[in-house]
Structure 1
Amino acid sequence: MAGTIAPESRYATVGTAVTVDPDTGQEVVHLRRRFVPPAERLATAGWEQVADGDRVDLLAARTVGDPTAFWQLCDANGAFDPAELEQPGRVVRVALPRGSPEPAMPRGVRLQLLVGPLTFGPAPYELVEALQEAQVTQNAGQRSGFQLRFALSRGSLVERMLADGSLDPPTRMLLVLHLDGRPQVLSDGVVTRHDVARSNEAGASTLTLTGVDVSQMMDLIDLSGLPMPMPAEARVLTLLAPFAAYGVVPMLVPSVLVFAPNPIQRVPAVRGTTFAYVSQLADEVGYTFYVEPGPTPGMNTAYWGPEVRAGQAQPALTVNADAFSNVESLSFSFDGVQKTVYLLTAFPEQVRVPIPLPVPDVSPLNPPLGRKIPIPLSYRRMNIGRADPGRTDDATARMDVVQTLARGLARAAQSANVITGSGSLDVLRYGRLLQCRRLVGVRGAGRAYDGEYVVKSVTTTVKAGEVKQRFNLSRNAQISISGRVDT
C-alpha cells in the first residue's frame, strides 16, 4: 500500500499500521493518522496575495509548482478548509514542507555584499557564504549603523582576510537587498571595530564587524578655528565637498531662519569636526542632518533640511485585520506631559533690552499629522545664559531674534511628538522595506491612532530564512486628517 502513495502526497511520510479485524481475524494495513504540524514550526518561503478568481490549486501551482500541493498552503496558514485561502486580497503564507531545511534566503530575496577600502566590488563568494546575520539600524537624529556576523573557522577566507587587514577599519562595506528583483541599498558605511568570539565547539566561532555610515569619516578631524566667511548653506556645501570620494551628494533645503552675521563684526569659524559643525548648523535653524545610502550602490545623500513630514506616504501598516494584516505587532502610547511650551527671551545687540518671543504650537517645521492636537501641559524657560549640564546647549544670550526663534521652534517640534508607536514586520509580507525618516500610514489601530506617522527608527535583520524589521513611529496629533488611510 505504501508504494501506491505519491512522494509529494501529504501522507507520504506518515507510515502504515496493522490492525487485526476482531470479527474475521484478518490483518488490515492502513495509513497512520496524520497530525497537522504547527504553522509556526514551518520555514517560511514567501508570501502571495490572492487575486480575484484565484483558486487554491492555482495558488499552489503558482507558489509551490504543483496544484495538488495545496495542502502545503493550508498547513502554512492553519486553514482546515482550503476555501479559506481563496478570499481576494488575502496574503497567503508559503512554507516549506515539514522536515525541509531552512532556506538560505526566502524566495525572491537576495543579499549582496560589496567590500573595498574606498571604492568597492563584490565580496568573495566564501565571505558571503560565511555571513550568518546582518543587522542595520537607522535612527532619525542619529547616525546609521550595521553589524555583520560571520562564521569563523580555522584556515577559512574570513580568518585570512582578518589577518591581512582586509576587514580592518575603515574598510567600506555595502549591503544591497534585492527584493523581487528590485535592489535597495540597506547600508553603506565603514567598519569601526571587529569582535572575535572563539569557541571550543566546532563551527561556533564568529567574527562580528560593527560599522557606521560614511558620515563617520566626517567625524575624524577637528577643524576648529577654520574661518568660513559665507552663509550657512555655503559652509555646509564646502565642508561636504571632500567626501565626494564616498559618493556623498549634498541635498540642502535653504532656511529662511538662517542668520548671516556682519563680516565686519564677526567671521564664522568651524567648531569641531565636519559632522559636528554641520549638525550644529542644522540644529540652530530647527533642521536635521544625516547621511542616507542610495538610491544606487555607492551613492550617499547628505540631507540638510527639515524633518520630512509631507509627501507620499509609504504603504500602510495594517494591524488587527486578520489575513489582511501585514505587521506582526504594533502598539502605541501617548505621553500627555511631554509636549512643552517654551518661553524664549532674545537679547538683540542693537536694543539691549530683553524681548520675549512666543513659540507657536504649530509651525512649518512641525505641521500637524492629525486633527486632534494635544494641549501642552509643560512650560519651560529656555536657558538664557550658560548651557545646562546634560542638556542640549540652548543658551540664547548671544543670539539675535532670528536665531532664538529658530532654536525655540526646533525644541517645540521635538517635544510635540507625544504619540509614539512600535512594532515589527516581515518584509516579504509587507512587500517592501520600511524606510526610516519617511511618512507611513497606519490602519486598524482605532480612530485615535489611525493615520500618518513619521518613521523614527528601523532595525532590519537579515538571516537564514527571514528578513524582518523592528520600527518606531511618532506624530504630534491624533485622528487621521483625511479620515482614511490609503493602502
Structure 2
Amino acid sequence: MIKGLTLSLMMGPGVPLTAPRGVLDALQSVKVTAESSDTQSGFELTFQIEKNSPLITLFMLSGGAAIPFFRVLLIATLSGRSETLIDGVATQTQIAPGSGGRSATLTIQGKDMSAAMDILPFDGLPYPAMPPFARVALIVAKYAFLGLIPKVIPSLDEPPIPTERIPRQSGSDLEYVRTLAEEAGYIFKMEPGPAPGLSFAYWGPQISLGAPQPALTIDSGHADNVESLSFRFEKDGTEIPIVFIHNQLTKAPIPIPIPGQIPFMPPLGLVPPLPPKVTLLKDTAHLSPIGALVRGFAHSAKHSQAVQGQGTLDVMRYGRLLKPGGTVGVRGAGIAFDGVHFVERVTSNLTRGSFKQDFALKRSGLLPTSEHVTV
C-alpha cells in the first residue's frame, strides 16, 4: 500500500490464518485505536467488494458469531520492524450495498482479545485461599488456547482465610478481573505481540517508566515529524485523595492525604498545579494500611494529569509507530509543554497511500523535568 510499509492481515475462527490475496485487494481502510488504560482497544476494517462476493457470506456468518471466536490480526512492518497493531475478535459486521454500479462496502468492527472474556458469566465460582493476583492468573489461563498469556503483578492484598471468607466471582471473567483491578488500584489491558497470535493480559499498576520514544517535533523546520500538535492545561480535573486507615487501638479512622508524586509514575512535569479538589476515599478504612495507600496512589495517578495534548503524525515521516502506554519526547511546542509526556491513546488510520496516527498525551505539570529528549 505504501512504499516501505507492509500490512499483514490474518483472520479466521479461533486460529487466525493469512488472508487470501483477494481479501487484501478489497481492503480499503484500517482504523485501530490502542489504549494505555483499561479501556478496550478496537479496530475497524472497510472493504469494497462486489454485491455477490462470497466474502459477504463469510464475514456475516463467521464475524457475527460469538463462538467460535472470529480472530482478526493486523501486523505492520515498517523498515524491517514488525509491530502488531491489533489482535482481537470481530464483534460487529455491517454491509452497505452499492448503488449506481458502485461496489458494496463491508465494515468489520471488533475489540481486543479481552472481548473473548466477556461472553459467559461465571457467577458464584469460588476461589478459596487465593489472593486477587492468583485469581486473575487462573482466569486468564482459561484462554490460553486463544494465545492469552497472563502478565500479572502481585498486589499487596492478603489471601483470604477459607474459614472466614471464600471469594466468589460475580459476572463474566472480564467484569470480575476489572473489579479486582479497581480494588487493587490496578488496570487490566491487552498487550498484543510480540509473536503473531499471542497477547499479554496485563494486570498491574499503570507505569510510566522506561526510555521515551523518539521525540515528536513541531515548528522546527525540516525536523518536523508531526502534522499537528496542541496542548491544554486543565487543573480542575486534579484531586488530592485522602485515604482512611483504621486504628486497631482507638477504633478510629486516621485520614492520610496522598501526594501527587506516585512511586511508579515519576513526575514528567516540573511544576504541577495545586489541586482545587479534595476527595475522601472512605471505602479504604476496611483495608490494610498498605492496601489503603495503594488505592490512594492509584486514584491520585488518575486525577493528577493537568496537561493534555493531542495531535496527528505521518508514520512514514516519523519513521516508526508511536505506541501507547509509554513515554515520548516533545520538541518545538514551547518551554511550558516541551519535554517528556505519557502516551495515553493512539489511533492508527491506514488507507491506500496514507498511514497516519492520532495520539493523546498527558502529564502532571508544566515545564520539562529534563532539557533533553530522545531524537
Structure 2 length-normalised TM = 0.93
Q: Output the CA distance in 2 between the equivalents of 1:414 and 1:299.
A: 29
Contact 1:184–1:296 (8 Å) recurs in 2: no
1:148 to 32, 45, 61: 45
1:333 to 232, 246, 250: 232
Task: Tell me which residue corresponds to 2:25.
Answer: 129
Task: State the AA in 2 paired with 1:122.
Answer: T
Contact 1:440–1:452 (8 Å) recurs in 2: yes
3-state secondary structure, aligned to 1:184:
strand
Task: State the AA in 1 paired with 2:326.
Answer: R
3-state secondary structure, aligned to 1:361:
coil
Q: Does 1:324 align with 2:223?
A: yes
3-state secondary structure, aligned to 1:277:
helix
* TM superposition shift of 1:347: 4.3
Query: Percentage identity across aligned positions?
Result: 39
Q: Output the CA distance in 1 between the equivalents of 2:289 and 2:328.
A: 35
Contact 1:349–1:400 (8 Å) recurs in 2: no
Task: State the AA in 2 paired with 1:294.
Answer: G
- Report matched runs for 1:318-397 at 5 Å: 318-347=217-246, 352-382=251-281, 384=282, 395-396=283-284
Contact 2:253–2:285 (8 Å) recurs in 1: no
Task: State the AA in 1 paired with 2:50.
Answer: S
Contact 1:435–1:458 (8 Å) recurs in 2: yes
More strand by share: 2
* TM superposition shift of 1:349: 7.2
Task: Tell me which residue corresponds to 1:238.
Answer: 138
* TM superposition shift of 1:351: 5.5
Q: Does 1:485 align with 2:373?
A: yes
* TM superposition shift of 1:350: 7.4
3-state secondary structure, aligned to 1:202:
coil
Q: Does 1:159 align with 2:47?
A: no
Contact 2:51–2:98 (8 Å) recurs in 1: no
* TM superposition shift of 1:397: 5.5
Task: State the AA in 1 paired with 2:342.
Answer: V
Task: Tell me which residue corresponds to 2:82.
Answer: 183
Distance 1:365 1:281, change over 3 A: farther
Contact 1:151–1:203 (8 Å) recurs in 2: no
Distance 1:397 1:424, change over 3 A: same
Q: Output the CA distance in 2 between the equivalents of 1:285 and 1:371.
A: 28
Describe the superposition over 1:407-461 as per-residue Cα deviations: whole angstroms up to 9, x where unpaired.
2221111110111100000000000110011111111111111111111111101
Contact 2:51–2:103 (8 Å) recurs in 1: no
Task: Tell me which residue corresponds to 2:149.
Answer: 249
Structure 2 residue runs without a partner (length 5+): none
Task: Tell me which residue corresponds to 1:455.
Answer: 343
Distance 1:272 1:348, change over 3 A: farther
Task: Tell me which residue corresponds to 1:213.
Answer: 112
Q: Output the CA distance in 2 between the equivalents of 1:421 and 1:350.
A: 48
Q: Does 1:106 align with 2:6?
A: no
Contact 2:234–2:306 (8 Å) recurs in 1: yes
Distance 1:460 1:232, change over 3 A: same
Distance 1:428 1:265, change over 3 A: same
Q: Output the CA distance in 2 between the equivalents of 1:185 and 1:451.
A: 27
Distance 1:223 1:167, change over 3 A: closer
3-state secondary structure, aligned to 1:328:
strand
Contact 2:51–2:97 (8 Å) recurs in 1: no
When the two chains are superposed, the root-mean-square deviation of aligned CA atoms in Å is 1.8
Distance 1:242 1:350, change over 3 A: farther
2:359 to 471, 474, 478: 471
Describe the superposition over 1:23-78 as per-residue Cα deviations: whole angstroms up to 9, x where unpaired.
xxxxxxxxxxxxxxxxxxxxxxxxxxxxxxxxxxxxxxxxxxxxxxxxxxxxxxxx
* TM superposition shift of 1:328: 0.4
Contact 1:308–1:439 (8 Å) recurs in 2: no
- Report matched runs for 1:87-106 at 5 Å: 105-106=1-2
- Count of residue pairs the alignment pairs up: 370
* TM superposition shift of 1:130: 0.7
Larger Rg: 1
Q: Output the CA distance in 2 between the equivalents of 1:363 and 1:259.
A: 22
Q: Does 1:439 align with 2:294?
A: no
* TM superposition shift of 1:369: 1.2
3-state secondary structure, aligned to 1:207:
strand
Task: State the AA in 1 paired with 2:43.
Answer: F
* TM superposition shift of 1:484: 1.5
Contact 2:309–2:361 (8 Å) recurs in 1: yes
Q: Output the CA distance in 2 between the equivalents of 1:125 and 1:328.
A: 33
Q: Output the CA distance in 2 between the equivalents of 1:299 and 1:351.
A: 52
Q: Does 1:279 align with 2:178?
A: yes
Describe the superposition over 1:296-320 as per-residue Cα deviations: whole angstroms up to 9, x where unpaired.
2111011112212111111111111
Q: Output the CA distance in 2 between the equivalents of 1:348 and 1:244.
A: 44
Q: Output the CA distance in 1 between the equivalents of 2:233 and 2:162.
A: 47
* TM superposition shift of 1:473: 0.4
Q: Output the CA distance in 2 between the equivalents of 1:305 and 1:437.
A: 13
Structure 1 residue runs without a partner (length 5+): 1-104, 385-394
Taking CA–CA contacts closer than 8 Å with sequence separation of 6 or more, which of the two structures ends up with the larger relative contact order? 2
Q: Output the CA distance in 2 between the equivalents of 1:189 and 1:278.
A: 18
